Amino acid sequence: MDALGGKDQVVFTVGGGATETPAMARPDPVAQLVQTLGLKAEDAAEPTALVTAGDLEAVAGKLKTAGFMLMDVVGVDYGAYVQPRPQRFSVLYNVYHPYDHRRLFLRVWLRDGESLPSLFPVWKSANYLEREVYDLMGVVFDNHPDLRKILTPDDLEGHPLRKDFPIEETPTLFRDGRFIDPPTFRAGMTGQSAGLTGWRGSLRKGGTREMEPPVMPEGGPK
């Protein structure tokens, strides 16, 4: 067993046998950490502490000074959850100490339309992670240097991971100006009906007759 760095640094065994980390030697160091930060621990399977949006930057600054890194930012919409929750949205910050292997989740509750301070000044890794939460969950992070959509297309409206985002098929606008709805398209592909695609799978087998070009129905797309 060799310690790399100071006394609070990694204890890293190479070879067989159980790895002894300080996390196993001390009785629940994460609970101590939560107490030191003056936070309220949540009764959960993973060590979770509740933070208010106002305290978030200060708490994150302390954790950064203690050597923690920001692993992930999780946005959750509890709008359809079975149990009542304090607010509709929750943002979880997954922080981890790369040397003594403590993990802590910071939870912030917020209403729809509320914003959070960006943690980009504290951890550079918050850049993409907050952009992802903004894109998919619609939580706005104040003072983020570059808060743009990151995963979804620019023309998609709404935030797909919200529980009220509809899951449905949408008619597709083709380049020649036709709107084709997915059921019609599928029907055309399987040869049941030419539909608006103008292409019949059954006619492809040896059929020589040219299909009529599709036309827009009266009154626009259905």
Partner 1 sequence: MSLKDRPPVDKQSGTLPRSQMQPDHQESTRPERVGSLTAQQGSLMHTEVMSLNVGPQHPSTHGVLRLVVDMDGEYVIKVTPHMGYLHTGFEKTFEHRTYQQGVTYAPRTDYLHSFGHELAYVLGVEKLMQAEVPERATTVRVILHELGRIHSHLVFLGTALMDLGAITLFFYCFREKEAVQDLFEEVCGYRMNQGYFRVGGLSRDIPDGWADNVQKFVDSFDKHVDEYASMFATNPIFLDRAVGVGVIPADVAIDLGLTGPNLRASGVPLDHRKANPYCGYDSYDFDVPVSQAGDSQARFVLRLDELRESAKIVRQALKRLKPGPVKDPNRKISLPPRHELETSMEAVIHHFKLVTEGFHPPLGEVYVPVETARGEVGYYIISDGGSMPYRVKIRAPSFVNLQALEYACVGGQFADLITVLATIDPVLGDVDR
User: Under the rule (CB under 8 A), what is the footprint of partner 1?
Assistant: 4, 10, 12-19, 21, 44-46, 48, 67, 69-72, 74-77, 80-83, 92, 94, 96, 98-99, 101, 103, 105, 123-125, 127-129, 132, 136, 149-153, 160-161, 165, 167
Q: Give CA–CA dist 119/114, Å, rounded.
A: 16
> Rounded to the nearest whole angstrom, what is the least distance from the CB of residue 208 to partner 1 in the complex?
37
- Do 121 and 143 meet the contact criterion of CB atoms below 8 Å apart? yes
Six-digit token pair at 35?
Answer: 């107490």
218 DSSP 8-state letter: T
Q: Give CA–CA dist 25/18, Å, rounded.
A: 12
Instruction: Between 46 and 142, name the residue whose CB sits nearer to partner 1.
Output: 46
> Rounded to the nearest whole angstrom, what is the least distance from the CB of residue 70 to partner 1 in the complex?
6
> Rounded to the nearest whole angstrom, what is the least distance from the CB of residue 99 to partner 1 in the complex?
8
Instruction: Between 47 and 198, name the residue whose CB sits nearer to partner 1.
Output: 47
Instruction: Between 59 and 70, name the residue whose CB sits nearer to partner 1.
Output: 70
Instruction: Between 31 and 150, name the residue whose CB sits nearer to partner 1.
Output: 150
Query: Alpha-carbon dihedral of residues 28, 125, 147, 86, nearest 10 degrees?
Result: -10
Residues 6+ apart with CB under 8 A from 110: 53, 87, 89, 90, 91, 116, 139
> Rounded to the nearest whole angstrom, what is the least distance from the CB of residue 105 to partner 1 in the complex?
8
Instruction: Between 62 and 149, name the residue whose CB sits nearer to partner 1.
Output: 149
Give how far Cα 52 sits from Cα of 55, 115, 208, Å.
5, 12, 70
> Rounded to the nearest whole angstrom, what is the least distance from the CB of residue 153 to partner 1 in the complex?
7
